[in-house]
Amino acid sequence: MTPQQPICILICALGGEGGGVLAEWLYQAAVRAGHHAQATSIPGVAQRTGATTYYVEVQPQPGGRRPVFSLNPVPGEIDLLLSSELLETARHVGNGLCSRERTLLISSTARALTVAEKMQMGDGRLDGAALVAVLQQHARAAELLDLNALARQAGTAISAVLLGAAAASGALPFASARSVCEDVIRASGKGVEASLRGFALAFDAVSRRRAQQAVVEAAVAATMKAAPAPDLRTLARQRLVDYQDARYAELFDQRLARIEALDRGVADELVRWLALWMAFDDIVRVAAAKLAASRLQRVQREVGLKDGELLKVYDHFKPGVPEFAALLPQAQADRLSAWDRRRVAAGREPWALPLKIGTHTVAGTLALRLLASLKAWRRRGSRFALEQRLIEQWLAAVERGTRTSPALGLELARCGRLVKGYGSTNERGKANLLHITEHLSQGPADAVRAAREAALADDAGRGLDDALSAHGAPRRPPREQPVRWFQRRPAAGASPAVRPPA
């Protein structure tokens, strides 16, 4: 916050709770502290009728010129929101007045039931925990406690309690907020002793909460500082053990060691992208992901599953020849792919097998488990062998580049970001990476970086081709795309065209 910005305070109170008195106290406290201030009230009708909001702006460090204040609160521009009732607080949050980046929210957790809640034949009360979650989600910080109970304990109105909570929050721009606010209460001359008791109870309660929170945050920070940072290599290695086996993780270590012998920084950058490429997606991995317990828990959260309800989950798959050929040895995969190419050349769609599997059923679960169990067979498949060859091509380029210049090796290692996704997206990313490494692996490093960034920014690849040409590398060769011709259907009522004899 700059000195030119005022501190914006919104007070939400029900009828008879002293919201106007609280606004006047805040105004008087600001003036006593040497600041410019303005307070306005906005009468309105809420769930219970009679609800009124009060808006206070305080300009710290006024200088020589008088500020121009706003008469109304602006959504998202509130620094401190004070409220005497939980649902009323949520109503103003729902109107967009709070900001997660800016607003400190102080609210009583007590409820005054609405007419709609009282009209229900059963328990029509709104869920208080859900309201609290909304407030915490949409505010920078939230101080939530039963201020009504403190007011009853002190024998005063909740306005004095809210002032005490605000003074303890640190949001008021007063050097000694407690003494300034207590002086204002004494100057009011009405119910002074009870108001001071309520002020003190709330001030002490919020101060204790803030002190406890500071202790917890310090302990957490110390624990995080003392705990060793997660080793990315260890995580990557474990990912590959889960994906395939320990022997596959050892291959990962051997590949990293080759680069690390040349430059540690390049090897550190290579860890993430190498592990992601080695754990490429196939139908085996997809089946295992569908069976993961974390996935089921996420689905249950998303649909809002309640106790006693049944959940049915159907997964749709459409594996084609590439997915099945990936698990076959090279000779059988070539024959299957050639058969599918002949289908396409004859004008037919590529072969695919649409599937709808009920993951919640025994049969569906067993089918996915059968696919997931083919992990051991993956090594025999044509896709596994192909991916290892492409990885080795990339690593060879990284090695050559690192010997030339560590900066060049680093940029070539970062090209691993291009390999992502599934299906055609994955194939396109690998093709782009291999084209860059083939034609730009001799440097300079800026050329590799420019080509990589262009490939990431433009899926169509036009930017990549321009970047390649700008650095003297050939543009990517055009890819074959099947063209299908369809006979136009005659219009309704028209006779079909008569073709001349051949």
How much of the chain exceeds pLDDT 90, in percent? 49
> Where residue 237 falls among pLDDT bands split at 50, 70, 90?
very high
Mean per-residue pLDDT, 129-135: 89
Using 50, 70 and 90 to split pLDDT, how confident is the model at 278? very high
Q: Which of 42-56, 174-188, 260-274, 314-328 has the lowest mean pLDDT?
A: 42-56
Region 452-475: mean pLDDT is 87
Q: What is the pLDDT of residue 402?
A: 94
Least confident interval from 259-263, 389-393, 408-412, 422-426: 422-426
When pLDDT is cut at 50, 70 and 90, the band that residue 494 belongs to is: low
pLDDT band, residue 500 (cuts 50/70/90): low
SS (H, E, C) 301-365: HHHCCCCCCCCCCEEEECCEHHHHHHCCCHHHHHHHHHHHHHHHHCCCCCCECCEEEECCCHHHH
Section 25-49 average pLDDT: 79
Higher pLDDT pick, 23 / 63: 23
d(CA 105, CA 135): 8
Query: For the segment 92-123, what is each residue's pLDDT rounded down to a tens digit?
Result: 888 888 888 899 999 999 888 887 787 765 67
pLDDT band at 405 (very low <50, low <70, confident <90, very high): very high
Q: Does the pLDDT at position 1 exceed 50?
A: no
Q: With contact defined as beta carbons under 8 Å apart, do 318 and 369 qualify? A: no
Cα-to-chain-centroid distance, residue 419: 22
Residue 246's pLDDT is 94
pLDDT band for position 190 (cuts 50, 70, 90): confident
Contacts of 85 (CB under 8 A, 6+ apart): 12, 14, 107, 108, 110, 111, 112
pLDDT at 393: 95
The residue ranking higher by pLDDT, 236 or 173, is: 236
Identity of residue 445: A
Average pLDDT over residues 454-477: 87
Report the alpha-carbon distance of residue 81 to residue 108 in Å, rounded: 11
pLDDT at 327 over 70: yes
Chain segment 339-370, per-residue pLDDT in tens: 999 988 888 888 999 999 999 999 999 999 99
Mean pLDDT of the chain: 87
**Is the pLDDT assigned to residue 329 strictly greater than 90?**
yes
Residue 428 scores a pLDDT above 50: yes
Q: How far apart are alpha carbons 145 and 285 in whole angstroms?
A: 48
Mean pLDDT of 206-234: 81
Q: What is the Cα 208 distance to its own chain's centre?
A: 33
Domains and CATH numbers, the chain: 7-225 (3.40.920.10)
Sheet holding 80-83, edge to edge: 36-43, 52-59, 7-13, 80-83, 104-108, 141-145
Contact 25, 188 (CB under 8 A): yes
- Alpha-helical runs (H) found in 155-191: 158-169, 177-188
